Amino acid sequence: MEIIQLDEKITIEDYEAITFLKPAVDALRERAGDMAKSLGDRTIWMINSTAQGGGVAEMLPRLVSLGRDLGMDVRWGVMSTGIEAFFPLTKNIHNLIHDSGEMNLDAEQREIYEKVNRENAMILRQHLKPGDVLIVHDPQPMAMAGMLKEQIEDIHAIWRCHIGVEDNTGRTRHVWDFLRPYADGYDMAVFTAPEYIPDYFKDKSRIIHPAIDPLSHKNRDLEPVKLMGILCNSGLAVNHHPVVTPPFDTPARRLGADGNFGPASGPGEIGLMYRPIIAQVSRWDRLKGFAPLMEGFVELKRRVGHMSDEAGEDGRQRRRLGIVRLVMAGPDPASIQDDPEGVEVMDEIRSIYRELPEKMREDVVVLALPMASRKE
C-alpha cells in the first residue's frame, strides 16, 4: 500500500472561474460545508489499484485535491503486491464484469485475492482511526473494507464500481457470485448506471453518472499555438518554427515496421494537423477492440481503391478516405501495474502491424504515450 502525495493542487476557485459552472460550484460549497462539519476529524480514504493509467487514476487526484480545498481531510492509497498472479486475476475479474474473460474463479483464485487484500489492509490499518471513511474503487481492493472493519470500530465504507454491462450472463453471474462475500463490508455502493447493479447491492446503492473534468489537461480548450507546442514537445510533430515550451522529458513513441518503438515523427511525420484522422485513445485492452478496428480500417482502405473518381463531392470523399490515417494511442503498457493484459495486447498489435502491406503500415500509427508525468 502506497500513500500518494499529490504533485498538483486544484481549488474550487479554479472551477468557479468557468461561468457555466458557477451555480454548481455554489451548490457544492454549501453541501460540502455542512459535510465537513459533520465529518469533524475523520479522514476520507480513497483506495484503488494504480496511481497512473485508466480513468480512476486520472479522477482521484482532482477529487482528493478538491475535497481538501473544501475543508475535508482526504487521502489516497494505492494497493501494491509482489504476488504476480494477483493483477492477472483482477484483470480477468474486470473482463468478466464486461461479459468477457475466463470463468475460472475458484478457491485458489480467492486465496490469492484475499491474501493481497489482507496484506494491503494491514498496512492501511496503521493509518486509520475509528470513524474514518473508506471509498474503495473497483474490484481489485474490494475485500479490504470487511477486513478493516474487523480490526477497527466505526469504520464507514463505500464501494465505487466504475464498470459494468447491462446483460446478465453466465460470465457476469460467475464474477458477481465471486465478489458477493465482500459486499457485506460496505454501507453503500455507487454505480454509473442502474443496470450494472448486482442483486445484493440493490438496497444500498446510488448512481453517479460519468462526467469529465473541464480543467483536466486532457479536456481543456487549446489554442492553435498551444496545441502545436504540445505536439512538438511530445515528438508527435516536427517543430518547423520555434515553440514556446521545451520538449517533454519523455516523448511519445511510435511502432515501427520491425515491431519496435522509435521516434513518433519517424520515418515520416504523422500529419496530425493536415490529414483526416481516425483516432482511438485508451488503455491497451482487448475490450477496446484495437484488432477489429485495425482490420476495419484495412477493409476501408481496400474499398477506397475500388471507388470511382467521381464518388462523393466531386471526388473529395475519395480523396479524404485516400489520405486518412488511423492513430491508435495508449499508455506505455509497462507503466501500469494493474493491467498485465496491456503487454499481451500490445504484442498482438505488433504481430498484426508487421503483417500489414508496407503502404498500409504508413497509414496505421500505433503510439505509446509515456506516463512519467501526469500532466504531459
> Which tens digit of pLDDT belongs to each residue from 244-265?
999 999 999 999 988 899 999 8
Residue 315 has pLDDT above 90, yes or no: no
pTM of the predicted model, to two decimals? 0.81
Measured over the CA atoms of residue 235, residue 240, residue 243 and residue 246, the dihedral's sign is: positive
Mean pLDDT for the chain overall: 92
Residue 336 has pLDDT above 60, yes or no: yes
The predicted pLDDT at position 308 comes to 64
Residue 104 has pLDDT above 70, yes or no: yes
Q: Which residues contact 174 (CB under 8 A, 6 or more apart)?
A: 96, 103, 105
Residue 310 has pLDDT above 80, yes or no: no
- Percentage, residues of the chain above pLDDT 70: 97
CB 79 within 8 A of CB 49: yes
Convert the pLDDT of each residue in 36-68 to its tens digit.
999 999 999 999 999 887 789 889 999 999 999
The predicted pLDDT at position 313 comes to 55
CB 232 within 8 A of CB 238: yes
Scored b (16 or more CB within 10 A) or e, 211-237 reads eebeeeeeeeeeeeeeebbbbbbbbbb
Helix (H, G, I), strand (E, B) or coil at 269: coil
* Opening angle at CA 103, ends 97 and 109, nearest 5: 95
For 9, 29, 37, 72, 301, the CA distances from 66, given in Å and listed in that order, are 8, 11, 16, 9, 47
The predicted pLDDT at position 53 comes to 75
Please, what is the angle between helix 341-355 and helix 290-304, to 10°?
20
Convert the pLDDT of each residue in 195-243 to its tens digit.
999 999 999 999 999 888 888 888 888 899 999 999 999 999 999 999 9
Task: Tell me the mean pLDDT in the region 275-289.
Answer: 92
Residue 371 has pLDDT above 90, yes or no: no
Residue 339 has pLDDT above 90, yes or no: no
Residue 340 has pLDDT above 70, yes or no: yes
The grid coordinates of residue 287 equal 475490450
Chain centre distance of CA 223: 26
Convert the pLDDT of each residue in 140-194 to its tens digit.
999 999 999 999 989 999 999 999 999 999 999 999 999 999 999 999 999 999 9
Kindly report whether the peptide bond that precedes residue 267 is cis, defined as omega within 30 degrees of 0. yes
**Longest Cα–Cα distance in the chain:** 75
* Opening angle at CA 355, ends 353 and 357, nearest 5: 95
